[in-house]
Structure 1
Amino acid sequence: MKKVTLTIAYALLPAIGLSTSLLSHAVSCGDNITTQEILTGDLSCATNPALTITGPAGSLDMAGFTVICTNPANDGISLEGLGARLSNGEVEICNDSVILSGDGSHSVVDIGIIDLFGTGVVIDSDNNFVSEIAFASDGATSTHGIHVTASASYNTITDNFIDSSGDDGILLEGTSNNVTNNIVDSTSDAGINVASGANSNIIILNLIQNGGDTGIKVNSDANLISQNQVNNNITGITIEDASDNLVNLNEVGDNTDYGISIEGASSEGNDILSNSSSNSGLLDLYSPDDPSCTENDWIGNIYTTRDPSCLN
C-alpha cells in the first residue's frame, strides 16, 4: 500500500500545479544557505559577503561555476555555524575569498581563488578541513594565501597550491594545526610563517620554493617541521627567538642566504636533526647567537658550509 500511495502522489504533482523543481532552490547573491544546494550558473555579487553558508545543514556544490565580487572590497563566501561545506568552483575578485568562522568543523574542497584583493582563505575557527585550494594571484593586490588566526586550532590544511601571494603563503597564528603536502610558490614574504604564539603545529611534506623571503619561518615553540622541500628562497628554514622545535628530515637547497638558521638569544632547546642543506649563497647551517652550540642540538645534518664550526 505504501508504494502505491507514493506512486499516486507523484502522479498527481502536475495536476495540482507542482513540480519537482520545488525540491531545490536557486542560489542568489546575498543568500544564507542552510540546506544542500547546487549552483546552476555564475554569480556576480555586490553583496558583502557574496554568499553565506551556515551549518550543520548548509552546503554548496558550486558545480564548476564562479562567484565574482563586483566590488573587490567585499568578501566572497563565509562559512558559519557548525559543519558547513563548500566545494567545486571558483571565487574571483573578492577581498577575503573564503572565510571559515562560527563554531568550525567546516569543509572547503576543490576551490579556485583568482585575482583576490585580500586573503584567499581565512580560518577563524577550529577543526576545519581545507584541501585542494588553487590560489592564483599576481601578488600585487593579495595578502596571504591561507591565514589561520590566533583563534583557530586543530585545522587540517592539505594538498593546496598557493602561487604568488603578496605576503605569506600560509600564515599560522593559531596552535595545533596540521599543514601537510601543500605547494607554496613565489610568495613575496615567507612561504609558511609560524608566528609568535602559534605553538605545537605540524608542518610536514610541503614544497616551498621561489619565495622572496624565508621558506619556513618559525617564531613560536614546540612545532614539528619535517620532510619538507625548501628551495630557492632567501633563507630556507629559520627559527627566531623560539624554543623546543624539532626540524628534521628536510631537504633545503639553493637558497640565497642561509639554508637552516637559528637566530635570537632566547632560542633554546631546538633540535635540528638529519636535514640536508646545500648550495646556500652564504651558509648551509647558521647559528650566530649560540657560538658554542650548547643551547640547541644540531645532529646528523648534511651540509657543506657552517658557522659556528661546532654545528653538525
Structure 2
Amino acid sequence: MINFQKSYKISTFTAILFVASNSATAVNCGDTITTPTVLTENLTCPIDIDNQNGLIVEGPSGSLYMNGYTLTCNLDNLPLFTDAAGIRITGMASLVTDGTVNNCNYGIFVVGTGFHTISDMTITNSLEDGIDLRSDNNTAIKNHIQFSGEDGIDMQGDFSSVIQNYIEFSDRDGIEADNDFGTVAFNFVTGSQRAGIEMEASDNNTIVQNTVMNNGDGISGDSGGIVITSQSSSNNLILGNTAENNLPFDLKDRIDPNCTGSNQWVANNFVTADPACLE
C-alpha cells in the first residue's frame, strides 16, 4: 500500500527544489512556459479564439510550480468545439504542481509525447474534464477535482497512472478509462452522476484499492460505482476496491453476464453487483 506520508514528503521536496533553484517569475495569461517557473500571483485569463489556453507548459524544459496561486478562466468568449484549457501541457516530461485551476473549459489538458506529472492541484468548475490525459505515460497524483462538467479525469493515453486523487461531483464519470495498460489506484471518488470509475474501450488496466461511494443516478446505462461498459474492454484487473452506496450497483459489468470473460474482479468490498457473480 502507498505510504501517504512518504508521498507527501516527495511532493513537498519537489516544490522546495523549484523554489530554491528558480527565482519568482512574472507570468502573463497566454504565455508558453519553457523554463522552470514559479507563479507569483493569481491570474484571471480571458479565453477566446486567439488565446485558447490560460497557460501552456512545454516540457522537457518547462515546468510550473504554482506556489498556491489560482488561475481562473474567463469564458465569456469561449470558442465553440474547442479543447481550450486553463493549463495545456505539451512536449515531454513536464511538471505542474501546487495550485488551483478554476472555471475553465478543460482544467488541465495534456498532450505531446507524454511522461508529464500533475500533482497537488485543485481543479474546480471545469465545463468539460478536470484533467484530460490525451498522451501516453502521464501521472496525475494527489489532486482534488470537483464539479467537472464531464469527467473528473479522462484517461485517453496509454500507460498512464491516476493515483491518490480526490474526485467529487462530476457530471459524468469520476474517472473514465479509455486507455490501455494504465493504473488507477488509491483514489476516492464520490458524487459522480454516471460512474465512479468507468472502463470504456479499455484494456489491460489495473484498478486497485480505490474507494468509490455515492456515485450514479441509477438511470443511465453507464451509471454505478465501478463499471465496464464496452465490448472492447478486456484483460482489466479490478482488485481490492471498496464500492458502496452506488446506483444502481456498486460493481457492474455490462459485457460479461456469466463472469467468464477476460476481465478479473477480485477481492472487492461491495454490497451490490450486476451480474451477481462479480467478486
- Shorter-chain-normalised TM-score: which range? 0.7 to 0.9
Give a deviation string over 1:41-79, Cα, whole Å, max 9, x none.
x85x4xxxx11112xxx121013x112213456311101
Q: For 2:167, give the aligned amino acid.
A: V
Letter in 2 for 1:227: Q
- The equivalent of 1:190 in structure 2 is 173
Provide the residue aligned with 1:98 in structure 2.
87
CA distance in 1, matches of 2:169, 2:48: 23
* Alignment partner, residue 17 of structure 2: none
Q: What is the count of residue pairs matched by the alignment?
A: 233
In 2: Cα distance, 1:71 partner to 1:194 partner: 28
Structure-2 separation of matches of 1:174 and 1:86: 22
Cα 1:135–1:72 change in 2 (3 A) is farther
Q: Match of 2:61, as an amino acid?
A: G
CA 1:145–1:271 in structure 2 vs 1: closer, same or farther (change >3 Å)?
A: same
Counterparts of 1:83 and 1:192, CA distance in 2: 29
Which of the numbers 260, 265, 271 marks the counterpart of 2:264? 271
Q: Is the 8 A contact 1:111 1:133 kept in 2?
A: yes
What displacement does 1:264 show? 2.2
CA distance in 2, matches of 1:72, 1:112: 21
User: C-alpha distance in 2, partners of 1:192/1:115?
Assistant: 19
Q: Quick check: 1:205–1:227 contact (8 Å CA) kept in 2?
A: yes
- Whether 2:39 is the aligned partner of 1:52: answer no
TM-score of the superposition, structure 1-length normalised?
0.70
SS of corresponding position for 2:53: coil
**Among 48, 58, 67, the residue aligned to 1:80:** 58
Structure 1: distance between partners of 2:192 and 2:85 = 22
Q: CA RMSD in A?
A: 2.1
Of residues 149, 163, 168, the one that matches 1:180 is: 163
Matches within 5 A, 1:133-148: 133-137=121-125, 142-148=127-133
SS, match of residue 157 in structure 1: strand
Q: 1:32 is matched with which residue?
A: none
CA distance in 1, matches of 2:242, 2:198: 15
Q: Is the 8 A contact 2:207 2:237 kept in 1?
A: yes
User: Does residue 253 in structure 1 map to residue 231 in structure 2?
Assistant: no
**Letter of the structure 2 residue corresponding to residue 92 of structure 1:** T
CA contact (8 A) 2:265 2:278 kept: no
Structure 2 counterpart of 1:90, which letter? T
Rounded to whole Å, the distance in 1 between the matches of 2:270 and 2:53 is 41
| Alignment partners' CA distance in 1, 2:33 and 2:186 | 31
Structure 1 residue identity aligned to 2:160? N
Q: Identify which of 135, 144, 154 aligns with 1:161.
A: 144
Deviations 1:74-121 (A, max 9, x none): 31110124231101222111540111112x1001011201121x1011
Residue ranges of structure 2 left out of the alignment (5+ in a row) = 1-20, 75-83, 217-223
- TM-score norm. by structure 2 comes to 0.78
| Structure 1 residues without counterparts, runs of 5 or longer | 1-34, 279-283, 288-305
Larger radius of gyration: 1
C-alpha distance in 2, partners of 1:252/1:164?
A: 21
Q: 1:207 to 1:182 in 2, by over 3 A?
A: same
